[in-house]
Chain A
Amino acid sequence: MNAELTIKSAIHETLPTVFGYLGIGIAFGLVGHAAGLSPLMIFLMSAIIYGGSAQFITVSLLAAGSPILSIVAATFLINSRMILLSLTIAPYFKRKSLADNIFIGTLLTDESFALGMNKLNYTAGELNFPWLNTANLIAYLTWVSASLIGGLLGNFIQNPERFGLDFAIVAMFIGLLYLQVIADKSLNYLLQITVIAVTLVLTYLGMIIIPSSLLVLVVTIIGCLLGVSLKKIWPQTH
């Protein structure tokens, strides 16, 4: 990454993540096909819901014939971490027009969020519309077309799990997490490692009582609270 906030630098910096989204998008299309959805419906789900891993839950509930309202509620809850991501990144666009803000928000995703947060470490805390919008558009187009490809490939591929494609998104988060930790100068390195360890414990313990649809959200809310508290008592060495 560099300090340039241009469309060109955004393309250059987003392209490596395309493979992660391709993998999970194709996996989603295959799962949708296996659940009996047509390629058109798979395409529409990815284009309209744009919920990443949340869509896997939507599909399984659809296949089970659950009531519409309960599917909508479940999808909202799983995807509600996006509220936190939007809250975190929105202040960088405060001076932009409302239309720009709505457009950025509409296509924001975990991946462009993480890239944006990473980018801040190189740009002295600046983000702009062309850069993030390009990262958003690439992620969106990749997700939608990969889902469609997966839906069409569904006729030929049985048992998609054996290719390990479902791990693409996890691998991407591991990579983005590592890159964030080594690039973020605003938080002490050891403090970050401690917060990650705390998150591991929270995730493990949380699984006992928190339904999977809410797990990531609840763990994030509590993890950040503990992070702030730890920072307050952390020895000031930097």
Chain B
Amino acid sequence: MSTFNYTILTILGCGLVTWLSRVLPFVLLKKFSLSETVLEYLNFVPIVIMSALWFSSLFTQHLGHLPTINWPNLIASGPTLLSAILSKNLLVIVIVGVVSLGLIRLIIGA
């Protein structure tokens, strides 16, 4: 198979499964309703998933062993969180985050 076909087929296959993950719940919930218990459970999804996405960037994984701390990301999270508390403005938060990590990498020379 040519590289072109290989890449295109992979993109289409990946596109199909990611699309189904997003769309199927919408289609199914048109027909079915979720119980109170499930809704209460889903109520926690926003904070848990955003925390998990954040925290997973703070460590480097070594399967079978304890993860190590990703110091640049951990240190950059400080000013980022502080800017969130002070500004409550996503644009400011993202800029502070990117500049913090850029500066940290500049200083440690990584």
Using CB atoms and an 8 Å cutoff, list the residues of chain A in contact with chain B: 15-17, 19-20, 23, 37, 41, 44-45, 48-51, 54, 58, 62, 68-69, 71-72, 75-76, 79-88, 90-91, 93-94, 98, 101-102, 104-106, 108, 110, 113-114, 117, 161-182, 184, 186-187, 192, 195-196, 199-200, 202-204, 207-209, 211-212, 215-216, 219-220, 223-225, 227-228, 231
Give the shortest distance, in Å, between A63 (CB) and chain B (any CB): 10
Partner of B45, one of A84, A174, A211: A84
For B93, what are the chain A residues with a Cβ–Cβ distance below 8 Å?
Answer: 171-172, 174-175, 178
**A171 touching B97 by the CB < 8 A rule?**
yes
**A98 touching B30 by the CB < 8 A rule?**
yes
Query: What is the CA–CA distance of A18 and B84 in the complex, to the nearest angstrom?
Result: 16
- Name the prevailing secondary structure of the B interface residues: helix
Seed contacts A76-B14, A180-B46; 11 additional CB < 8 Å A-B pairs: A20-B94, A41-B11, A44-B8, A68-B9, A75-B17, A84-B42, A101-B27, A177-B51, A199-B51, A216-B49, A228-B41
For A164, what are the chain B residues with a Cβ–Cβ distance below 8 Å?
Answer: 76, 97-105
For A219, what are the chain B residues with a Cβ–Cβ distance below 8 Å?
Answer: 48, 52, 56
Closest chain A residue, CB of each to CB of B50: A177
Give the shortest distance, in Å, between B1 (CB) and chain A (any CB): 9
Give the shortest distance, in Å, between B84 (CB) and chain A (any CB): 4
A58-B10 contact in complex given A49-B15, A98-B27, A231-B40, C-beta closer than 8 Å: yes
Give the shortest distance, in Å, between B53 (CB) and chain A (any CB): 5
A48-B11 contact in complex given A164-B76, A204-B59, C-beta closer than 8 Å: yes
**B54 touching A224 by the CB < 8 A rule?**
no
For B12, what are the chain A residues with a Cβ–Cβ distance below 8 Å?
Answer: 48
For A173, what are the chain B residues with a Cβ–Cβ distance below 8 Å?
Answer: 50, 53-54
For A16, what are the chain B residues with a Cβ–Cβ distance below 8 Å?
Answer: 89-91, 94
Closest chain A residue, CB of each to CB of B65: A208
Query: What is the CA–CA distance of A220 and B96 in the complex, to the nearest angstrom?
Result: 27
Query: What is the CA–CA distance of A216 and B54 in the complex, to the nearest angstrom?
Result: 10
Closest chain B residue, CB of each to CB of A66: B10
Closest chain A residue, CB of each to CB of B37: A228
Give the shortest distance, in Å, between B39 (CB) and chain A (any CB): 7
Partner of B53, one of A19, A69, A178, A216: A216
Counting from the closest, the 9 A-B pairs by CB-CB distance are A171-B97, A164-B102, A164-B101, A175-B93, A86-B25, A48-B15, A227-B44, A105-B23, A223-B48
**B97 touching A174 by the CB < 8 A rule?**
yes
